[in-house]
Structure 1
């Protein structure tokens, strides 16, 4: 699993802590002030669990708790939940500032893979 972003995003690499903050809905703007739009799969999707554990190094339920805290405190919103990695690819490619995740083998030329440091 890899983190992907809209091709116009200037970042080539991202610290794991920053990636965690973005997917935890704590960081809502890129350094150039573009809004971050996060796309994820359902909590019970195997790809979601794999990305959470292997890339973010958190359990899926920890992400859900972070999202709930943001929403219930009025400080944030949930990421947009999509039905498939193909839908994530399509939405990330067409949404400036977007971020999501897919299997490395599914990446196409319409998105940029972010290297996680």
Structure 2
């Protein structure tokens, strides 16, 4: 009886540890030359969900997105916009079909997003916090 209880406790502890590892901290990044110091989740959501194409600094935003099915992308949209991947896909299908907006530029990896943002003063993207270095500036943490 006691062995079963210990095994259950160990399994539960393992699952909690795995879930914490799976949920890496996502940060919104901009070019280090950008005048932006911070943004709210609502402002970021408006850009990535096609409600605006302008950064708070007044320049046209160049958003960079990770591919569908990427865990960081799912976490980003869940925390910034409160949307699931299927809701994001449906929103962009509707906006694209109606000609009202163009979806963010989809890049293959987080390294590609960081490189794009680092080379474009109007770019905005998101990556795991652990990947941030001097080539980009974090302006919002979504933990």
Tell me the TM-score normalized by structure 2: 0.74
Tell me the TM-score normalized by structure 1: 0.89
| CA-CA distance at 1:44 after TM superposition | 0.7
| CA-CA distance at 1:116 after TM superposition | 5.5
Aligned-residue RMSD, C-alpha: 1.7
1:51 to 66, 69, 76: 76
Contact kept in structure 1, 2:29 and 2:140, CA below 8 Å: no
The one-character-per-residue Cα deviations of 1:68-109 (angstroms, maximum 9, x if unpaired) are 222111111121111100000000110121011100000011
1:106 to 131, 137, 142: 131
2:90 to 39, 58, 65: 65
Gaps of 5+ in 2: 1-25
| CA-CA distance at 1:8 after TM superposition | 2.0
1:16 to 23, 26, 41: 41
The one-character-per-residue Cα deviations of 1:25-80 (angstroms, maximum 9, x if unpaired) are 22101234311011111111111112122343321222222222221111111211
Gaps of 5+ in 1: none
Higher helix proportion: 2
